[in-house]
Amino acid sequence: MKKIIIFIFLFLTTPYVLRSTPSFAVPMDSSRFKMESANVEIAGGNKTSTSYKLADTVGQLAAGQYSSTGYVVKAGFQYLHSIIPFRFSISNTNINLGTLVPSTPSTATTNLAVYFGGAGQYQVTAIEEGPLKTQSSNVIPDTTCDGGLNTCSETTAKVWASSSAYGFGYGMSGNDVPADFIDGTYFRPFPDRTASEAPATVMTSVNVGKNRQSTVTFKTNISPIQPAGSYQTVINFVATPSY
């Protein structure tokens, strides 16, 4: 009987343990980026264009080569003499704001990280694919923050601390974030793709940066007359290196 109890206990707990193992966000660390030497593979479409060149210095078009092959290719950043992969991470893509209670702000965070060896210049932009809304199109509007002098926009963060200021927005902290996010009370609304708004730059650096990390705080506060429902949206974070 004892054996059966042990067996049942193990049988019941094993799937739970297996289930819970991958449910944690992987800690972001800086130990995984690496410098790589140039290794881009390339092949000409023209049968006579079998040769290629990966330039290791800056210069004009190689005239002889250009006339024979019809193209010259340079991969990576020439001033670095190497090809460094560009890496972008989001610690959690499922940003759960929980059960929304009127006049009680809900927040959730996720971390963004950019790894770029020593190559530096990059940008991360953000845009919402539409406002927070239910399937029946009830909408939580984008925040305007506290209003008055503290009216924020897609490009300017302002204080959003009032429990009677309703909407959905985000704040930023960490490396390379816009300077108008002065502290944790400063928020902006996301630009809305359905309103043809341009994406907002949320991280950028013209300087050399290896492991740049920031935290995005999502915040929503609903009014007492907000209809009940599951409010959803998708935020698109686009990370690109410079040119």
Partner 1 sequence: MKKKIIIIMIAFLLSSIIYHLGSGVSLAQQVSLAISPPLLELFIKPGKSIMVAYKLENHGDPTFLNLKILPFEAKDNLGNIRIKPDFEGPVRFSLDNADLTFDQPFFLKTNNSQQILLRIRIPENITDGDYYYTLLAETIPPTSSEGVGSARAKATIGSNILVTISNSGNIEVKPKITIFSTKGGFELLKNVKFFDSQDKISTILTVANKGKNIIKPEGQITLKGNLGTSATYDIISKNILAESERMVEARLLVPEHSDGGQATPSAEIDQTPPASLVLSGFFIGKYSLSTQIRFGENSPTIFGSTMFYAFPFKIMGGVILTILIVILVIKRDKEE
Structure token digits, residue 101: 């209670």
Site string for partner 1, 28-57 (x = CB under 8 A): x---x---x---xxxxxxx--x--x-----
Q: How far is the CB of 164 from partner 1 (least distance, A)?
A: 18
Residue whose entry in the numeric block shows the structure tokens 């630009």: 191
Look up tokens 């300087």; give the residue. 207
Instruction: Tell me how far apart the alpha carbons of residues 108 and 127 are, in angstroms, rounded to a whole number.
Output: 17
- Does 162 engage in binding with partner 1 (CB under 8 A)? no
Q: How far is the CB of 189 from partner 1 (least distance, A)?
A: 13
Residue type, 128: E
Phi, psi of 83 (to 5 degrees): -110, 120
Interacting positions 193-232 with partner 1 (CB under 8 A) = 198-199, 201, 204, 206-208, 218, 220, 230-232
Member of 89, 103, 185, 211 binding partner 1 (CB under 8 A): 89
Place of tokens 């390339």: 42
Report the C-alpha gap between 133 and 225 in whole angstroms: 15
Nearest approach in angstroms of CB 148 to partner 1 is: 26
Q: Is 155 in the site for partner 1 (CB under 8 A)?
A: no
Q: What is the distance, to the nearest Å, from the Cα of residue 239 to the centroid of all Cα atoms in its chain?
A: 7
Any contact of residue 61 with partner 1 (CB under 8 A)?
A: yes
**Judged by CB under 8 A, which of 21, 31, 96, 136 binds partner 1?**
96
> How many residues line the site for partner 1 (CB under 8 A)?
100
**163 is a site residue for partner 1 (CB under 8 A):** no
182 binding partner 1? (CB under 8 A): no
Which is closer to partner 1, CB of 162 or CB of 242?
242
139 makes contact with partner 1 (CB under 8 A): no
Distance from C-alpha of 25 to C-alpha of 42, rounded to nearest angstrom: 37
Strand, helix or coil at 1?
A: coil
Q: Which two tokens stand for residue 150?
A: 């503290």
Binding of partner 1 by 11 (CB under 8 A): yes
> Shortest distance, CB of residue 105 to partner 1, whole angstroms?
11
- The Cα–Cα gap between 145 and 135 comes to 25
Cβ of residue 185: shortest distance to partner 1, in angstroms? 20
Element (H, E) at 132: strand 132-133
